[in-house]
Structure 1
């Protein structure tokens, strides 16, 4: 049985599109269709439901895709077992949210260069949703982000490591803070509220505070953390962000952390496919080490390390 055909079915089961499967495997749609047809002929069963408008696998197709994933994993393990141990090397495509850029990405890249000089990191900075789309299409080897990745829940095909959490609090210029330093929902309705992109979980948490209110809040969403920092520093509004982003401005008194409606922390995880090569595995392990050092250095008030044995 051609393992390339099995890989095609596994990718098709993941992305649910012949066109995107062709993109992932760098092939034509006609070639992808032919591979699936050949696999169906060999197995004597229909794997794709061609009566549905939306691409779906048949029950037999779903079962074969699960078993094919295990076969491909065993094949990778077999190949790796025959190779002598060598230093990790090669390109590692790392996708990360901008929050990481403002905290510990630089130490990670620096330590990666020192410890694994033959590893070449290729960095993509984007929103969590866009990173997940790229990871799903195998355009990323390693994904560092803050939203749950549905495909990894209960799935041993992925290696998910909880890294840290950043408390999300209300940050504003002192002249926008009410007397006593506490911000209420009424206060937040009178000024722009600055937070992350429209597709992010922090933005959803902010909007949820106003669900039962009569006034529509001015929630301003930005994919760029730098934009939020600039605007809150200019006094444009009150930001719902991790204070760790603006530690120096807080220490100088230019900005102030305020008490207010509670918001969930920003929980950061790193994720890769379990069959990833040694360069990806080494980068993921080093990421955990760097984050632990960062959390210890800044203190739990700013960032708290997470137990890697906890579910992500």
Structure 2
């Protein structure tokens, strides 16, 4: 399974902390036991044969059964492991803290290693095996990776409250595009949503300042250096306190999606459990968020129900 997932005997040996020779011997032994070749090898890559693909399916089922059997009679305190989690800024400023607390309370033996990066970087790290779980905006395409929707958060235009009257008619995209605009990293979902909206409306690309920190964007907008395009939920305190104001626009922005993506490593129970808690926390946040911030709870609730079904099965 690990040779197939990582693409080489060497990488599988490193993952399993054994020698490459031991990996080769195990494959040779399997091929003798089943009297068939499992891999086609050439100078550039190795590929499963037809029989190898059949055997892989059985191997994955055996590992899943082994994991389920070992969990019988175990409590959260008995489960241990390291789970490497990557998150985007939106989640850092919304439900990350509650999620981390739930993991600590339910599974004190699980050690979490946390990093915050852009969605693009988190995709790379998850595919390369540097992360086990990524909480970000888009499905991650790759072998052995599962994706569960976590809903979506309304995107909006915000500016310093002193500069924008409380009761004002919607302004056009062209009017807003004349001002300096702060948003997230280049290539992020908020940045792409802004660019796509301008292209769709035929509005020349405005002056866009890409900043990796939502806190920094909020402070820049509060200081009056420009307006901001960002997910509204992370800025709800500044909006509720009257420091920032949502600017009504005739051209709505695409909501920011949220996605829970994780390595479907059947040998590591901790990853599966933490991923399920992440899906549950996304659904809980959806139910409790104020309606004006436009969280689409449908996908998160569906994911939560799916996870409960998985556990019952």
TM range (shorter): 0.7 to 0.9
Unaligned runs of 5+ residues in structure 2 are 307-313
Report Cα offsets for 1:224-256 as digits up to 9, x if no partner.
222212211221222111211121211222111
Task: Give runs of aligned pairs for residues 244-259 of structure 1, distance below 5 A.
Answer: 244-259=233-248
Within 1, Cα distance between the matches of 2:263 and 2:73? Answer: 20
Check conservation: 2:80, 2:111, Cα contact below 8 A: yes
State the shift of 1:142 in Å. 1.6
Give the match for residue 47 of structure 1. 40
Question: Cα–Cα, structure 1 residues 25 and 240, in superposed 2: closer, same or farther, change >3 Å?
Answer: farther
Q: 1:171 to 1:233 in 2, by over 3 A?
A: same
* Counterparts of 1:38 and 1:270, CA distance in 2: 38
Deviation at 1:25? 6.3
1:138 lines up with 2:133 in the alignment: no
Aligned residues: CA RMSD:
3.5
How many pairs align?
291
Map of 1:180-219 to 2, 5 A cutoff?
Answer: 180-211=168-199, 213=202, 215-219=204-208
Choose 300-309 or 263-272, whichever is displaced more.
300-309
Does the 8 Å contact 2:181/2:228 carry over to 1? yes
What secondary structure sits across from 1:292 in the alignment? helix
Give, in whole Å, the separation in 2 of the partners of 1:35 and 1:247: 58
State the alpha-carbon separation in 2 of the partners of residues 79 and 57 from structure 1: 27
Correspondence list, 1:1-80, <5 A:
6-12=1-7, 47-48=40-41, 50=43, 61=48, 66-67=53-54, 69-80=56-67
Does residue 121 in structure 1 map to residue 112 in structure 2? yes
* C-alpha distance in structure 2 between counterparts of 1:190 and 1:32, whole Å: 64
Assess, with a 3 A threshold, how the Cα gap between structure 1 residues 19 and 241 changes in structure 2: closer, same or farther: farther
TM-score by length of 2: 0.77
Which residue of 204, 224, 232 corresponds with 1:235? 224
Does the CA contact (< 8 Å) of 2:88 and 2:116 recur in 1? yes
Q: Tell me which residue corresponds to 1:307.
A: 301
Shift of 1:104: 0.7
2:213 equivalent among 203, 224, 237: 224
| Deviation of the 1:214 alpha carbon | 6.9
1:169 aligns with 2:159: no
Q: TM-score, normalised by structure 1?
A: 0.77
Gaps of 5+ in 1: 1-5
